[in-house]
A and B are shown apart, each in its own frame.
Chain A
Amino acid sequence: MLRALREIEGGMKLSLNAAGRLGTLRKPPILESFLRQVYFTGVTASTGVVLRASFLGVLIIAITMDVLDADVDMAVKILLLVVFREVGPLAAAVVIILRSGTAMSAEMAMMRISGQTRALRYLGINLYDYLVVPRVAGVMVATLALTFYIQFLAVAGGLLLSPFIIEATFMELASRLFDLFTPVDFYYSIIKSLLFGFAVSACCCYHGLNPPDLTQNAVPKVVTRAVTQAAMLVLTINAVFAYIVFGILFFGLVTAKV
């Protein structure tokens, strides 16, 4: 219990510090580190999701039409809702946690254990500036970009490939998509993916910089803890966000009626 409270407090401090120091991104080595983070988190991750994301769209349309016996209208509506509001940001967050969260927490734990963070401090380099800020900002940008990429691929894949398995043309699906698309879906996924990126990177940085002990054995413990907590954070944010937006905004506070 005490450890959990300490972790929450530490995570909050780290997040506030990172948010307050975003201006240091102008410094050349920090900017370089930020760009490197965007490249490794966003660009290199993008190649692996092409097929999976494309088939995701097909699956959603096919299942909706086949299992739920829905028409094209409903299928496209569900594709939009699921891909833009839920699956897109969530899939990007999962990719980021598995690819970059693990690498980031392990790298920082290794730096801490091998005394490289101490070396940085002796060189007068602030750890938040050099290690945390570029990673947090880089992962946020990369999560956003990856979310858009997955959404685009899933929707495009769904529209292009679905005509092979259902009775609907590409034009039919595409025209319904443009009719039904609203900017809310777009803003919703921007805010959500930025929050996911922030939570994942802050959580992984916190655990990387605070290993349970300073031995090599601490690295797998750090990675496990960082990944588990990052996943839990993402799911919690997703649930809270969905409740706030759809629960309160659209229907008012939901109360149980006995």
Chain B
Amino acid sequence: MSAVPAATPRPAAQMALRYSRHGERREIALAVPVGSVRRVELPDAEAKSSFITAVLKARCEADEELEIFGQPVRNLSAGARQRLRARVGALSPIIGLINNLNAWENISLPAAYHGKPSLAEVATITQEVLDVFGIDPRGFLVRVPDELGKLERKIAAFARLMIARPELAIIESLNDGLSRAECARVAGFEQEYRRRHPAGTLLFVDTREE
């Protein structure tokens, strides 16, 4: 009698995000494995906004299903929801810059408020990010958002995102309002995120109409 080795099932890839929305002509279903870089196109701005809001709040509506890092967000305790939120970050108009703070204050605000990372570390990361995109920090960091161009605002928000070190980063409408040359520059966001967080998950979200 020969022993037949049992076929070991291939482990399913762990999902960073699983989202679905039901309803007539509103169907959306997407799954993003941990450590991947994905680009998704949602049908319209409303779908995009409700998706990003659901992920950032770690909370979903009755017609939605959402799992973040394998945890269904429905019926989560406040503490668990808070912990889950801390693992997610976004570069999105929903989390825009604060108008009465200059670029440096905007970038360092979350770290200064939460007390980590240290301001020295924030300064180093900011300097590195600005270097990658060829921006002189002296003129850039003292300006308020209204004095910054669209590209510069995105770079400031990206620096803030890099400091937060999210395990899942969502970048919404990256090329929105940018010229072709500027689009080529922000394409470097992916590489920079990968370099800093090799195991992180990056999700680009756009709408089909864009």
Determine the distance from Cα of A29 to Cα of B100 in the docked complex, in whole angstroms.
13
Provide the A103-143 mask, 1 if CB < 8 A to any CB of B, else 0. Answer: 00001001100111011101111000110000000000000
* B110 in contact with A115 (CB, 8 Å): no
Determine the distance from Cα of A107 to Cα of B101 in the docked complex, in whole angstroms.
13
* A123 in contact with B109 (CB, 8 Å): yes
Q: Main secondary structure on chain B at its contact with chain A?
A: helix
Provide the A139-180 mask, 1 if CB < 8 A to any CB of B, else 0. Answer: 000000000000000000000000000000000000000000
Given known A111-B99, A114-B99, contact A125–B109 (CB-CB < 8 A): yes
* B115 in contact with A116 (CB, 8 Å): no
Determine the distance from Cα of A27 to Cα of B105 in the docked complex, in whole angstroms.
14
B98 contact set on A, CB distance < 8 A: 111, 116, 119-120
Determine the distance from Cα of A164 to Cα of B112 in the docked complex, in whole angstroms.
56
The tally of residues in A whose CB lies under 8 Å from a CB in B reads 19
Q: Which of B85, B96, B115 contacts A119 (CB 8 A)?
A: B96
Provide the B85-120 mask, 1 if CB < 8 A to any CB of A, else 0. Answer: 110001001111111100001000110111100000
Determine the distance from Cα of A114 to Cα of B97 in the docked complex, in whole angstroms.
11
Question: Quick check: is B56 within 8 A (CB to CB) of the other chain?
Answer: yes
* B95 in contact with A119 (CB, 8 Å): yes
* A122 in contact with B56 (CB, 8 Å): yes
Given known A122-B56, A122-B94, contact A116–B109 (CB-CB < 8 A): no
Question: Quick check: is A28 within 8 A (CB to CB) of the other chain?
Answer: yes
The tally of residues in B whose CB lies under 8 Å from a CB in A reads 19
Determine the distance from Cα of A122 to Cα of B109 in the docked complex, in whole angstroms.
13
Q: Which of B56, B90, B94, B113 contacts A125 (CB 8 A)?
A: B113
Provide the A22-44 mask, 1 if CB < 8 A to any CB of B, else 0. Answer: 00000111100000000000000
Say how far B27's CB is from chain A's closest CB, in angstroms: 27
Q: How many A-B residue pairs have CB under 8 A?
A: 47
* B110 in contact with A28 (CB, 8 Å): no
Say how far B71's CB is from chain A's closest CB, in angstroms: 18
Q: Which residue of A lies closest to B85 (CB)?
A: A124
Determine the distance from Cα of A136 to Cα of B132 in the docked complex, in whole angstroms.
41
* B99 in contact with A125 (CB, 8 Å): no
Q: Which residue of A lies closest to B164 (CB)?
A: A123
A130 contact set on B, CB distance < 8 A: 113
* A28 in contact with B112 (CB, 8 Å): yes
A27 contact set on B, CB distance < 8 A: 112-113, 115
B105 contact set on A, CB distance < 8 A: 29
* B114 in contact with A124 (CB, 8 Å): yes
A125 contact set on B, CB distance < 8 A: 109-110, 113
B112 contact set on A, CB distance < 8 A: 27-29
A111 contact set on B, CB distance < 8 A: 98-99
Lowest 7 CB-CB distances: which A-B pairs, in order? A29-B112, A119-B95, A123-B110, A122-B95, A28-B112, A125-B113, A122-B56
Q: Which residues from chain A sit less than 8 Å from chain B, CB to CB? A: 27-30, 107, 110-111, 114-116, 118-120, 122-125, 129-130
Could you jot down 15 A-B contacts, CB within 8 Å? A27-B112, A29-B109, A29-B113, A107-B100, A111-B98, A111-B99, A114-B99, A119-B95, A119-B97, A119-B98, A122-B90, A123-B95, A124-B110, A125-B113, A129-B113
Q: Which residues from chain B sit less than 8 Å from chain A, CB to CB? A: 56, 85-86, 90, 93-100, 105, 109-110, 112-115
Other A-B contacts than A27-B115, A116-B96, A125-B109, 12 sampled, CB-CB below 8 A, are A28-B112, A29-B113, A115-B94, A118-B94, A119-B97, A119-B98, A122-B56, A122-B90, A123-B109, A124-B113, A124-B114, A125-B110
